[in-house]
Structure 1
């Protein structure tokens, strides 16, 4: 199975809704969808402000990976949070006890998105925080 399709099979419908035809996260679509500027989106994803204003950088592997991680986490919580906007608020502000009170946003910025996804999987199976 091609790598792009493999990575897409784990993405929720929210992530897929922000992708262009080539499988890249469409930065403008994400910013608009969450009512943010590109600068605010970059800050939320832990990227330099100018990254999302330059197409060659916004399409880079690191940028795309960070945006995908953020959207995957938001997608996982959007149903029980009450929608994507509430899921974004949760992502940015909810302290997670299992991580010393750090927010999902802070963890993703530190490259710990996999740990947040594992935590959410654990919680979905009835685990304790």
Structure 2
């Protein structure tokens, strides 16, 4: 198995804990297109602090039950907000 596939699977595995299949189908391609690859998307999800959430990471936001707010944030960013 190649590294890109492994990284993608890790991203999928991380997100499936927090999001429905439909939400994953929205988030995964978007995060991959923004970050360039699954490894960078995973790093962002786990470590990048998001100013709009008081410096919390996406993972922390989701671990605390705020998946819907996170998706709203991503949707807003996709539409040009938070740039």
TM-score by length of 1: 0.46
Alpha-carbon distance between aligned partners in 2 of 1:114 and 1:98, rounded to the nearest angstrom: 14
**Where does the alignment leave 5 or more consecutive residues of structure 2 unmatched?**
1-5
Name 2:56's counterpart in structure 1.
Answer: 102
Runs ≥4 residues deviating over 2 A: 30-34, 70-74
Question: Is the CA contact 1:74–1:88 (under 8 Å) kept in the aligned structure 2?
Answer: no
Q: Does 1 or 2 have the higher relative contact order (CA < 8 Å, sep 6+)? A: 2
The CA RMSD measured in Å over matched residues stands at 3.0
Q: Distance in 2 between matches of 1:31 and 1:126?
A: 27
How far 1:88 moved relative to its partner? 0.6
Secondary structure in 2 matching 1:127: coil
Distance 1:82 1:100, change over 3 A: same
Q: Which residue of 12, 33, 45 corresponds with 2:9?
A: 33
Give a deviation string over 1:73-118, Cα, whole Å, max 9, x none.
8513111101111111100001010100000000010011111110
Larger Rg, first or second structure (1 or 2): 1
Q: Within 2, Cα distance between the matches of 1:74 and 1:121?
A: 9
What is the SS of the residue equivalent to 1:126? Answer: coil
TM-score by length of 2: 0.69
Structure 1 unaligned regions, length at least 5: 1-29, 35-40, 46-65
